[in-house]
Amino acid sequence: MPPDQHDGPHDALLDLLPDGVVVADAAGTVTVVNAAARRLLGPTAVTGSHLREVMALQDQESVDWWTSTEPYDGLGSRVGLTEQSWLTRDGTEVLVTGRMTRPVRFGPVQHVALVVRSGRGRARLDRDRSDLVATVAHELRSPLTGVKGFVTTLLDKWDRLNDDQKRLMLTTVHADAERLSRLITELLDVARIDTGRLPLYPREVDVRAAVERCVRSAAQGTHRQVVASYAEELPVVFADPDKLTQVVTNLVDNGVRHGEGTVRVSVEPVSTPFAGVLLRVEDDGEGIAEAIRSRVFTKFWKHGVRGGTGLGMYIVGGLVRVHGGEVEIGDSDAGGARVDVRWPSTDRR
């Protein structure tokens, strides 16, 4: 049958599916091939052909699909094919999974139904994983090198070092260990945000006290000036205190990293679009062009020449959203970037 013809309304409906569908009868003759399957498998994917001809795929070792899977042979209890990666004649990767129907348990196969989909989604996932591995390796290498170097020096030259030298080395090791701990926490939070399993323990929080602690801690770790201003009366916010601290810390650290001078933090009450507070962090760096602001909250996004994991703003966006808040990017009066976080006073999850 020509590939643009259908046996009936069911075939037309199958053509609407995004994934390819191939069905063969007990003799291996293909009875159904939808439009997506024809597009992925090529001109041999037509009804009336044998399943072996339609599924003319090979793996990376040039083993063909039919020989490898033996859909009509093998164990009599087998009813499904796990998803596997295969290559078409032109080298395109496709993912194939399937099911065999047997009228009688351990009896002959009556139908083989296969689903074929593009491997591009998995390729993107593989690239994300590679980016993650590269990012983690890069970020771990520097502090681990420092820890190893100073610990080796302490072990080899302990008796020849004075107390000030030992204290300096141990302080540096402690700072590098804290950096490693933060990276691990970031990675865990990314995984939990992606899977929707981020644990939250929200309650009413004094937002001024929380922000002051973050600003004070950030100011101690940089030569740049970090200043904060607060409205006279601020409502409490409904937040997991640790997650709120993480959001503020990430925003201030980001401002310090990309700014040139002063990082300004302000907190004021808001009533729209919901009751809560507006937390604003501004720097005087080069800013973020409006065309790319939507990418700021994606994984591994980096801007400028300064380092970082590219996960901080992704975590900020995820933590704000799971609390029912909002976050947006703008321009600061100093010419840099402005990040506005609206955090609710009530439970909006």
| pLDDT for position 3 | 42
Domains of the chain, by residue range, sit at 9-118, 123-195, 203-344
Among residues 305, 297, 301, 314, the alpha carbon closest in space to that of 187 is found at: 314
How far apart are alpha carbons 135 and 309 in whole angstroms? 6
- Facing residues of 101 across strands? 111
| pLDDT for position 170 | 93
| φ/ψ bin of 183: left (φ > 0), alpha (ψ from -120 to 50), beta (otherwise) | alpha
Q: What is the pLDDT along the chain (349 residues), one digit of tens a residue?
A: 444 444 555 678 888 888 999 999 999 999 999 999 999 998 889 999 999 999 999 887 788 999 988 899 877 788 888 888 888 888 888 999 999 999 888 889 999 999 999 887 666 666 666 766 776 777 778 788 889 999 999 999 999 999 999 999 999 898 888 888 878 888 888 888 888 888 889 999 999 999 999 999 888 877 888 999 999 999 999 999 999 999 999 899 888 888 778 899 999 999 989 999 999 999 888 888 888 888 888 877 766 555 566 788 888 999 999 999 999 999 988 888 899 999 999 988 7
First vs last Cα of the chain: how many Å apart?
54
| pLDDT for position 132 | 67
By DSSP bridging, strand 93-101 and strand 80-87 are antiparallel
CATH 1.10.287.130 fits 123-195, yes or no: yes
| pLDDT for position 96 | 93
| pLDDT for position 4 | 43
* DSSP letters for 47-93: TTSBHHHHT--B-TTS-BHHHHH-TTSS-TT--EEEEEEEE-TTS-E
pTM: 0.59
- The architecture CATH gives domain 203-344: 2-Layer Sandwich (3.30)
Q: Is 91 exposed, middle or buried (0-12, 13-18, 19+ CB in 10 A)?
A: exposed
Given this structure, which CATH class describes domain 9-118? alpha beta
Using the 8-state DSSP alphabet, how is residue 42 labeled? -
CB 300 within 8 A of CB 135: yes
Sheet of 111-118, strand order: 30-33, 20-24, 111-118, 93-101, 80-87
